[in-house]
Structure formats: structure tokens, C-alpha cells
Amino acid sequence: MRQFTPSITHKAMNRDIFKLLLMGLMVLDHINYFISPYLADIFHIITRVVAVGFAYLVVEGLHYTHSRKDYLIRLGGWGIFMAVGNYLMNLFVLRKDYAMSIIGDNIFLTLFVGAVIICLWDNHQEQKKKQLLRVVSIILLLIGIMPVLEGSFIIFPFMLITQVTHQNIKKRNLSYLALMIVMAVIELPMALTVGTTDPLMIFDSIAMNASDIFFILIIPLLTFYSGRLGKYDSKLKYVFYLFYPLHLWVIHLLASLFCH
């Protein structure tokens, strides 16, 4: 099987380092309860790479996995687990001001549907059925434009671009840039209509209302990603699945207990 992305084996970050970096950035994005609003804005911008970074790893994982069915079951199962956990946290633990969205704070479900889109697109059926499944894939992508699942608006097209262009880095990066431009056209006009010339207020509005465009920071990050398995890949395989819900639950719990 060909390497998912060609000519990257010499680069610095293996999969272990890439995952750990993304998890560290993930924490920065969720500690806004405990830091100043403008520092939270900065963290919110630089952490836009996290969701698309894990989305990239999912598309890469689907390329290498021995069983796409098992991969989808794992993502979907963790999505259900986190949805139930979020519900129980809201019901028994968290104050209303610090409640979590049942499906909105759940990247597993987004990655699961994104993985389904990739599997439908990259299927191995005869031509007529292949075309039908690709139509279903595009329909799911278009449904994902509605902001129901966390980050689906950007993650679904990002995952499809990653799949379609994975053997051509230049084409991949240009496609990411095109997606960023589309997002800028959609989001920036709304973000810039804040009715003030205060640079800090404009910065805050962009960080909160047009942050999706900063997913493009994934390009320099991927420049250093080798795609190679790390020394501890088997041990770290499920770390993200555990870390993601646990760190969110702990942060919301601490905020519920100590913030006013």
C-alpha cells in the first residue's frame, strides 16, 4: 500500500508527536473559563488546527486500517459514549451555566460522519454503484453544512479534500486555501460588522465569529508531519479517545465548582 502522503518520511513529527501536540493545543482551547477573554481569543485562533488535525489523522487511518468497519464502529461508539457522558454530567454534576452540549461538544460524532463520507466516496463498488455512493457522500457533506455537529461545517469538506488530494501535497494545500477563502467570504463580513473601530473588539469578533478560517494553520503544521508511526503508537492508540472526553469533563467540573 502506498504511503498516504508521499515524500514526507524525512520530516520531524511522527504520529505520536503530532497527536500529543494536538491534544496539548486542545486543552488551551477549552480553558477560557480561567483566563482573560483576549488570551482566550488568541488560544481560540491558534487551536483551530486541532479538529482538522484529528480529521486528517482519521482520513489517514482509513487509508491504512485493516477494517474500515471496525474503525467506524470505534468512532461511533466513542461518540455515543461521550454523548451519554455529557448528558449525565449536565444532569447530575454541572451547574446550568457550565453545561455541555450533548452532541455539540463531541468531535467523535463529527469525525464518525466525516469518516462515513470518506468511505462512501472511496468505495470499491462497480462504477454505477460507486457513482451512487459518491452522490450519497456529497449529500451527507451538504447536510453537514448545517451547524448541528461540532465543526462539521469545516471538517467535512476538509476531510473530503484530504482524501481526494492526498497524493499531491501542492494540490492539497491549494484546495485548503480555496476552502479558507470560501470560509472568509462567509464569515468575515459578519465578524467585521461590530459597529466599532476598537481594534481589540474587532479582534475579539474575528476570533469568535470568523475563527474557522484559521484552520489553514494546518498547512505549516503538516509541513513537519512525517506520517510515520511513533515508538509508542500502540500504547497511545486510545489515549485521544480517553483524553478528549475526560479533559472536557474535568474542565467543566472545575468551572462549575469554582467559577462565578
The domains of the chain are located at 15-258
Q: Does 245 or 133 have the greater pLDDT score?
A: 245
Check if the beta carbon of residue 70 is closer than 8 Å to that of residue 55. Answer: no
What is the per-residue DSSP string for 166-218? TT-HHHHHHHHHHHHHHHHHHHHHHHH-SS---HHHHHHHHHHHSGGGGGGGH
Q: What proportion of the chain, given as a percentage, has pLDDT over 90?
A: 69
The whole-angstrom separation of Cα 37 and Cα 69 is 42
Region 61-83: mean pLDDT is: 95
As a whole number, the mean pLDDT across the chain is 91
Region 97-109: mean pLDDT is: 94
Q: pTM of the predicted model, to two decimals?
A: 0.94
What is the per-residue DSSP string for 129-160? HHHHHHHHHHHHHHHTTSTTSTTHHHHHHHHH
Per-residue pLDDT at 222 exceeds 70: yes
Cell 488568541 identifies what position? 42
User: Among residues 53, 68, 80, 88, which one has the least CA distance to residue 240?
Assistant: 53
Query: Model confidence at 32, in pLDDT bands (50, 70, 90)?
Result: very high
pLDDT for position 82: 97
